[in-house]
Structure formats: C-alpha cells, structure tokens
Amino acid sequence: MTDIDDQDEGEDIDLASLPDDELVEQMHDDLYDGLREEVVEATNILLGRGWGPVKVMNEALVEGMRIVGIDFRDGILFVPEVLMAANAMKGGMELLRPLLAETGAPPMGKVVIGTVKGDIHDIGKNLVGMMMEGAGFEVIDIGINNAVEKYLDALEQHKPDILGMSALLTTTMPYMKVVIDTLVEQGLRDDYIVLVGGAPLNEEFGKAVGADAYCRDAAVAVETAQALIAARRDAA
Ligand code: B1M
C-alpha cells in the first residue's frame, strides 16, 4: 500500500530536474509528508551535485525537521505524522552518517537516552532521539525499562555529554531521582548534563530530582541540549 502510494506521489515530480533551491524546498515538503524514498533520492541527488554532507544535513534535513518540530509543538502535526517525518529523515541521515564520519565534522555532542525502570512508553523518547540526531547529535538509545545499572553501564561505555531520561507514568517518574542520586553518590553527577522529560513531569519536578533541565517536548530537548553544551564548552 505505502509503496504504491509513495511511487504515485514520487512520479508527480522529477526531483533530478529541480534546481538546488527548489529541490531543497521539495525535501522540506517531503520530510513534512514523511516520504522517505523521496528524501533519500533527493539526498543522493544533492550529494551527486557536489553538496557536502554537512550542508545537506543542515539545509535540507535538519531545517525540514525544524519545521516539523514547530508544527508538532503547535498542535498542527500529530504523533503519527511526526514519526513518519522522523523516519524519512532517518533515511537521509543513513546516507550521510558514514560521510559525516569521514569529514570528521565535530558532532554536536553525544547523548545516552532511555526510559526509566518500570516504564515501557517509548514514542516520546524515540522522537527526542530522532530530533537530536537530526540536529547533529550522536544518540545512543538504550530503550525502555532501564534500571540504574543499565544507565551507569551506558554512561561508562559511551561517555556521553548528556544523559536523557524519559518517564510517562507518575509511578515511574520518581525513579529519575534514584538514577541521579546514584550519580551523585558515585561522584559522577558533574560529568554529565542530565535532561529529563515525559508528559507527567514539569520544571519543578526536574529541579526537585536534581536534573539540569526538564524538556517539555522534543524541540525543547534539542534547544536545551544545544544551549547547555555550548555553555559547558564556553566554561571549559
Ligand atoms: Co500508557 N499511559 N500505559 N501506554 N499511554 C499514559 C502515559 C496515560 C497518561 C494514559 C491515561 O491514563 N490517560 C497513563 C499514565 C497515568 C499516570 O501515570 N498518571 C498510562 C497508563 C496508566 C498505562 C498503563 C499502566 C496501562 C495499563 O496497562 N493499565 C501501561 C503501563 C505500561 C508500562 O509502562 N509499564 C500503559 C501502556 C501503554 C501502551 C503500551 C499501550 C502505549 C505505549 C506504547 C509505546 O510507547 N511504545 C501507551 C500509550 C501510547 C500511552 C499514551 C496514550 C500516549 C503516550 C505517548 O506516546 N504520547 C499516554 C497518554 C498521553 O500521554 N496522552 C499514556 C506521545 C508522545 C510524543 O508524547 O511521551 O509525552 P510524550 O513525549 C514528549 C514529551 O513528553 C517529551 O518529548 C516528547 C516529544 O515531544 N519527552 C522528553 C518525553 N520523553 C522525554 C525525554 C527527554 C526529553 C523530552 O529526555 C531528554
């Protein structure tokens, strides 16, 4: 079904015939509409025209997802559309990832993100991870139902700049404090920026558990991560 629909829509516009600026605009539209095949094709076309991977990522993919993020926040787009857009972006990113690694372009930073113990909700966490990837972060997603030991193992193994935790249940959100308290006990708290999010949380809760920031949504998570990493690098 989807393949046929995608093909039908893809036949409407010959992407290769568009000049660069129109192609980029078309990519923003295709991302918005979650058309993965078209986004992948256009990514390939831009690379074939000599665009560097950083330029393709920033001007075509990240900018497209920025628009999606704004409309999601404003209630114009809903979860299914955002997941499709994120999937389309991932298609483009998969092409760029090895090229970005080759150029040695410094990543924005590294993030370990996971849903806390007892909680299997992952849609919001996945969105945050994808939006962060789109913004140039390296994201290590450790999944759902994470006990403190799993967070510690991931931090030890990946040495990220940021630890992100998600919780959707009022019964599981207190577990964030268990993780942060353990980091404090082990003298590791200051090694990481800790961001928390999830529908039942708020700013007050974020402060109470000792996080650096509570993030209302995926767009705020990206903005907060960028701001706190920049502040940390300036301080260093
Ligand atoms: Co559940 N569930 N659920 N559920 N579920 C809620 C959360 C609930 C509010 C529904 C309700 O009763 N109205 C309620 C919680 C009540 C409470 O705690 N007070 C609830 C319940 C009770 C349960 C079960 C206990 C039901 C049962 O079995 N009796 C059970 C618990 C299972 C468990 O976890 N142990 C359960 C199960 C499920 C499903 C499996 C069916 C499914 C999850 C599927 C999945 O995730 N793969 C599910 C769903 C889908 C929901 C609702 C309907 C939608 C959640 C969602 O995906 N929202 C939810 C009701 C609701 O929230 N309206 C509900 C969309 C998502 C994009 O938003 O996750 O908030 P959100 O993420 C946002 C921000 O919060 C933020 O950015 C995201 C993107 O903008 N954010 C972060 C999130 N994590 C972040 C991390 C960050 C930063 C930002 O780190 C840096």
pLDDT tens figures, 132-172: 887 789 999 999 999 999 999 999 999 999 999 999 999 99
Q: Does 122 sit in the ligand 1 pocket, CB within 6 Å?
A: yes
What is the whole-number distance in angstroms between the Cα of residue 99 and the centre of ligand 1? 36
- Global pTM reads 0.80
Pocket probe for ligand 1: among 79, 121, 128, the residue whose CB has the most ligand atoms within 8 Å is 121
Query: What is the model's pLDDT at position 166?
Result: 98
Above pLDDT 70, what percent of the chain? 93
Do 167 and 198 meet the contact criterion of CB atoms below 8 Å apart?
yes
Query: What is the model's pLDDT at position 173?
Result: 98
- Can you tell me which atom of ligand 1 is nearest the CA of 198? 75
What is the pLDDT averaged over residues 188-206?
98
Ligand 1, atom 83: nearest CA belongs to which residue?
A: 198
Q: Which tens digits make up the pLDDT trace of 18-59?
A: 999 999 999 999 999 999 999 999 999 999 999 998 899 889
- Can you tell me which atom of ligand 1 is nearest the CA of 169? 18
Backbone φ and ψ for 110, nearest 5 degrees, come out as: -115, 140
Query: What is the model's pLDDT at position 11?
Result: 59
Look at 43 and 83; give whichever has higher pLDDT: 43
Tell me: pLDDT of 105 over 70.
Answer: no
Q: Does 109 sit in the ligand 1 pocket, CB within 6 Å?
A: no
3 state SS of 133: helix
Ligand 1, atom 75: nearest CA belongs to which residue?
A: 198
Query: What is the model's pLDDT at position 108?
Result: 83
Residue 235 CB partners (closer than 8 Å, separation 6+): none
Q: How is residue 6 written in tokens?
A: 């995608």
